[in-house]
């Protein structure tokens, strides 16, 4: 009988590869090309061709590779190679070199999400050796952490292909639970331009801080309305769309009526809501205030600019994709499989909305450790993911 698991153990181990990947500082602000060059070298040593899809100034790239028969849909394993910064965090270990301690593997990106990428790459020799009837695609992206930016170029390139993957597994950390949905997100900056004057003459100025404050309160009212009246969607810790203002800057001195104030806010929306609708309502509210502002000065303004946006993921609970991936986790029959729940976004919404690829999130480690100092992944999570890859290879091979 063909045993994919044994092949897994022959190539470089997941641990060796994870050590390599963590050694590259791929904070989103930096280039990921050195890491990608290493991955390309590794893949080519195992006879796998890969393609890089670059950003505009060719400082970063996505990677796409196919193992197994060409011209068939296949299963795409997707991960981002960038990480959040360590700046301002108190690490007690070197963030960009793997350290092992008591069953835990420490390093920036260990959980989010170089652990998954390492396991997928370690399984490549087994994929190559297996008689695959259905191909496995590797899709590695850049600039995920700054709003799923990089993967959009990969999606455009996949759109050109005659046959698209039939299933996408995003290996973000879910402790290997199958997750079929997450919220979408829209973040925007609001900039209010008022009219300055001496504070003793306040009624002759246009106070930008006051106008920004009114918009912030309006957003807070929208947030409360959703909390009380919905719409609601089960399966989330926060079962409605949340709206939140994060930072505000405005004014220069107490004795000057401020002519400038800006703030950033976000909406994390459930499937029933389109955050662009909130944006349109905010615009209407801003226009009401603007008419008031223009009575004093025509040059006043309120700009609303989207700073990042990605769609939510919502894969039907009765989909074949869930049954298939649940089996790979080694958990009970698909009907019994409990779906996991995550409070963060992934590139999955883009794959499923832009390309209609059934998409699920399932990967090793936990986001409890992601983005934090002394980020780690448990060795046993890596082992569970190795078993998952072994089952995937078996399911896609000729018996
Ligand atoms: Zn991530």
- DSSP bridge pairs for 76: 137, 168
Give the SS3 label for residue 222: helix
Q: Is it true that domain 184-310 has CATH number 3.40.50.720?
A: no
Tokens of 292: 């008031």
Question: What is the 226 CA–ligand 1 centroid distance (Å)?
Answer: 27
- pLDDT tens column, 141-176: 999 999 999 999 999 999 999 999 999 999 999 999
Q: Provide mean pLDDT across the span 339-359.
A: 93
- Expressed in angstroms and rounded, the spacing between residue 202 Cα and the centre of ligand 1 is 48
Q: Are 62 and 76 in contact (CB under 8 A)?
A: no
Distance 76 CA to ligand 1 centre (A): 17
* pLDDT tens digits for range 267-283: 999 999 999 999 999 99
Cβ neighbours around 207 below 10 Å, total? 23
Structure token digits, residue 331: 């958990």
Q: How far is the CA of 145 from the centre of ligand 1 (A)?
A: 7
Instruction: Provide CB contacts within 8 A for 306, sequence distance 6+.
Output: 186, 187, 188, 279
pLDDT at 2 over 90: no
Confidence (pLDDT) at 337: 54
**Contact (CB, 8 A) for 342 and 236:** no
Read off the pLDDT of residues 234-261 as tens digits, 9 standing for 90 and up.
989 999 999 999 999 999 999 999 999 9
Contacts within 8 Å (CB) and 24+ apart, 291-294 = 293/194, 293/195, 293/206, 293/211
Q: What is the average per-residue pLDDT within 87-109?
A: 96
Q: State residue 314's pLDDT score.
A: 94
Burial of 321 (0-12, 13-18, 19+ CB in 10 A): buried
Distance 157 CA to ligand 1 centre (A): 22
DSSP 87: T
- CA of 171 relative to ligand 1 center, distance in Å: 8
For residue 114, what is the enclosing H or E element? none
Average pLDDT, the chain: 94
Query: CB neighbours (10 Å) of residue 224?
Result: 11
The interaxial angle of helices 14-23 and 379-395, nearest 10 deg, is 110
Q: Return the structure tokens found at 320.
A: 């074949």
Q: Is the dihedral of CA 57, 60, 66, 72 positive or negative?
A: negative
Q: How do the domains of the chain map onto residue ranges?
A: 4-181+312-395, 184-310
pLDDT in tens, 286-340: 999 999 999 999 999 999 999 999 999 999 988 999 999 999 998 755 554 578 8
Cα of 291 from ligand 1 centre, angstroms: 43
Distance 393 CA to ligand 1 centre (A): 24
What's domain 4-181+312-395's architecture? Answer: 3-Layer(aba) Sandwich (3.40)
pLDDT score recorded for residue 333: 52
Q: Are 189 and 307 in contact (CB under 8 A)?
A: yes
Find, among 118, 170, 136, the residue nearest to 66 by Cα.
136
Ligand 1 centroid distance, CA of 73 (Å): 25
Exposure class string for 81-115: b at 16+ Cβ within 10 A, else e: bbbbebeeeeeeeebbebbeeeebbbbbbbbbbbb
Cβ partners under 8 Å of residue 367, min gap 6:
111, 112, 172, 173, 174, 342, 343, 344
pLDDT of residue 11: 55
CB burial class (10 A; 0-12, 13-18, 19+) of residue 201?
exposed
What is the distance in A from the centroid of ligand 1 to the CA of 8? 25
Ligand 1 centre distance from Cα of residue 208 (Å): 37
Our separate counts of H helices and E strands in the chain read 11, 17
Crossing angle, helix 115-122 and helix 14-23, to 10 degrees? Answer: 130
- Give mean pLDDT, residues 80-95: 96
Helix 208-229 to helix 275-294 angle, to the nearest 10 degrees?
150
Integer CA distances (angstroms), 110 to 19, 98, 143, 264, 365, in order: 9, 8, 17, 30, 8
- Could you tell me if 364 and 122 are in contact, meaning their C-beta atoms sit under 8 angstroms apart? no
Tell me how far the alpha carbon of residue 213 lies from the centroid of ligand 1, in angstroms. 33
Total residue count of the chain as it appears in this document: 399
């Amino acid at each position: 009988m063909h045993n994919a698991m044994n092949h897994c153990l022959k190539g470089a181990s997941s641990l060796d590869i994870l050590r390599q990947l963590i050694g590259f500082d791929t904070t989103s602000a930096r280039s990921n090309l050195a890491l990608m060059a290493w991955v390309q070298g590794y893949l080519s040593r195992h006879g796998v061709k890969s393609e890089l899809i670059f950003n505009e100034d060719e400082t970063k790239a996505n990677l796409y590779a196919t193992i197994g028969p060409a011209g068939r849909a296949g299963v795409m394993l997707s991960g981002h190679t960038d990480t959040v910064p360590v700046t301002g965090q108190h690490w007690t270990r070197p963030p960009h070199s793997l350290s092992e301690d008591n069953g835990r593997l420490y390093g920036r990106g260990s959980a989010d999400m170089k652990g998954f990428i390492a396991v997928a790459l370690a399984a490549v020799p087994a994929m190559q050796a297996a008689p695959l009837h259905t191909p496995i695609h590797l899709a590695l992206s850049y600039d995920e952490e700054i709003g799923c930016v990089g993967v959009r170029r990969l999606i455009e390139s996949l759109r050109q292909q005659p046959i698209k993957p039939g299933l996408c597994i995003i290996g973000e950390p879910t402790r290997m639970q199958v997750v079929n949905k997450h919220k979408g997100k829209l973040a925007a900056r609001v900039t209010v331009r008022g009219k300055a004057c001496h504070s003793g003459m306040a009624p002759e100025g246009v106070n930008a801080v006051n106008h920004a404050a009114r918009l912030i309160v309006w957003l807070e009212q929208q947030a409360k309305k959703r909390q009380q009246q919905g719409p609601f969607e089960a399966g989330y810790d926060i079962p409605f769309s949340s709206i939140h203002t994060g930072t505000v800057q405005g004014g220069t001195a107490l004795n000057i009526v401020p002519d400038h104030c800006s703030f950033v806010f976000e909406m994390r929306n459930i499937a029933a809501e389109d955050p662009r609708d909130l944006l349109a309502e905010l615009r209407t509210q801003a226009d009401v205030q603007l008419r008031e502002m223009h009575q004093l000065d025509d040059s006043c303004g309120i700009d609303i600019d989207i700073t990042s946006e990605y769609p939510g993921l919502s894969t039907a609970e009765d989909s074949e994709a869930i049954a298939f991936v649940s089996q790979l986790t080694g958990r009970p029959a698909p009907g019994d499989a409990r779906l996991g729940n995550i409070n963060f976004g992934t590139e999955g919404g883009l794959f499923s909305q832009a390309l209609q690829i059934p998409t699920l999130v399932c990967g090793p480690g936990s986001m409890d450790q992601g983005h934090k100092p002394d980020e780690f992944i448990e060795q046993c999570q890596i082992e569970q993911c190795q078993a998952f890859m072994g089952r995937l290879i078996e399911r896609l091979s000729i018996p």
